[in-house]
Amino acid sequence: MSTAAGYHDLLTAEIAEGTHDHLERHLAANGLVFGGRALCTVLRPRFLTLAQYRSLQQRLRPLMRAFDKAYERAMADPVFRGQFKLVDWEETLLADRTGYSRPSPTSRLDFFWDPARGALGLTEYNAETPAGAAYTDALSDAFLDAPAMRQFSRTHDVMPIPARHGVVGVLLDAYREFRGGGSPTVGILDWDDVPTVTEFEMYRRHFASLGIACVIDDPRRCEYRGGVLHAGGRAIDLVYKRVLISELIDTCGLDSPVVRAVRDGAVCMVDGFRCKILHKKASLAVLSDDANADMFDAEERRGIGDCIPWTRVVEERKTAHDGQTVDLIPHIVEHRERFVIKPNDEYGGKGIVLGWTVSHGEWEAAVQEAMKTPHIVQDKVVVPSEPYPSWVDGRVEIYDRMYDTAPFVCHGEYMEGVLTRLSTADLLNVTAGGGSTVPTFIAERR
The pLDDT > 70 percentage for the chain reads 97
pLDDT tens-digit profile of 364-395?
A: 999 999 999 999 999 999 999 999 999 999 99
151-181 burial: b if 16+ Cβ within 10 Å, else e: bbeeebebebbebbebbbebbbbbbbbbbee
Domain CATH number, residue 414: 3.40.50.1760
CA atoms within 13 A on the CB side of 146: 33
Number of Cβ within 10 Å of residue 323's Cβ equals 5
pLDDT at 349: 78
Question: How does DSSP classify residue 405?
Answer: B
**What is the tally of structural domains in the chain?**
2
244 and 346 in one domain? no
Residue 431: predicted pLDDT: 44
Evaluate if residue 117 carries a pLDDT over 90.
no
The dihedral sign for the CA sequence 181, 183, 188, 189: negative
Is residue 432 pLDDT above 70, yes or no? no
Select from 385, 398, 285, 272 the least CA-distant residue to 332: 285
Query: What is the arithmetic mean of pLDDT over 145-149?
Result: 97
Q: How far is CA 146 from the centre of its chain?
A: 27
Assess whether 415 and 401 both reside in one domain.
Answer: yes
169 shares its domain with 275 = yes
Q: Are residues 275 and 248 in the same domain?
A: yes
Q: Which residues contact 37 (CB under 8 A, 6 or more apart)?
A: none
Same domain for 217 and 101, yes or no, is yes
pLDDT reading at 434 higher than 70? no
User: What confidence score (pLDDT) does residue 31 get?
Assistant: 84
Q: Are residues 360 and 399 in the same domain?
A: no
Using CA atoms, how far apart are residues 232 and 242, in angstroms rounded to an integer? Answer: 15
Average pLDDT over residues 25-42: 86
428: pLDDT strictly greater than 70: no
Residue 298 confidence (pLDDT) above 80:
yes
Q: How far is CA 378 from CA 227, 259, 295, 311, 343, in A?
A: 45, 34, 22, 4, 11
Following CA atoms 109, 283, 175, 216 in sequence, which dihedral angle do they give, to the nearest 10 degrees? -70
**101 and 59 assigned to the same domain:** yes
* Residue 223 sits in the same domain as residue 345: no
**In a shared domain, residues 326 and 412:** no
123 and 110 in one domain?
Answer: yes
Residue 252 lies in a domain: yes
Same domain, 41 and 187: yes
Model pLDDT, residue 433: 39
Per-residue confidence (pLDDT) for residue 378, from 0 to 100: 97
Q: Is residue 95 part of a domain?
A: yes
In the predicted structure, residue 125 carries a pLDDT above the cut 60: yes
Please give the mean pLDDT across all residues of the chain.
Answer: 94
- Is it the case that residue 36 has pLDDT exceeding 80? no
Distances (CA, A) of 227 to 103, 253, 263: 24, 19, 11
- Give the domain-ending residue among 379, 408, 428: 379
372 and 414 fall within a common domain: no
Which pLDDT value is given to residue 59? 96
pLDDT above 60: residue 128: yes
Judge contact between 318 and 290, C-beta under 8 A. no
pLDDT at 175: 98
- pLDDT category at 35 given cuts 50, 70, 90 is low
The residue-averaged pLDDT of 66-76 equals 98
Average pLDDT over every residue of 307-332? 96
Does residue 290 lie in a domain region?
no
Q: Is the pLDDT of residue 427 over 80?
A: no
Provide the pLDDT for residue 119. Answer: 84
How do residues 201-245 score in pLDDT, each as one tens digit?
999 999 999 999 999 999 999 999 999 999 999 999 999 999 999
Domain of residue 120: give its range: 3-279+384-445
Sign of CA dihedral 428, 430, 433, 436: positive
CATH number of the domain where residue 350 is located? 3.30.1490
Choose one of 361, 379, 397: the last residue of a domain. 379
C-alpha–C-alpha distance, residues 307 and 112, integer Å: 10
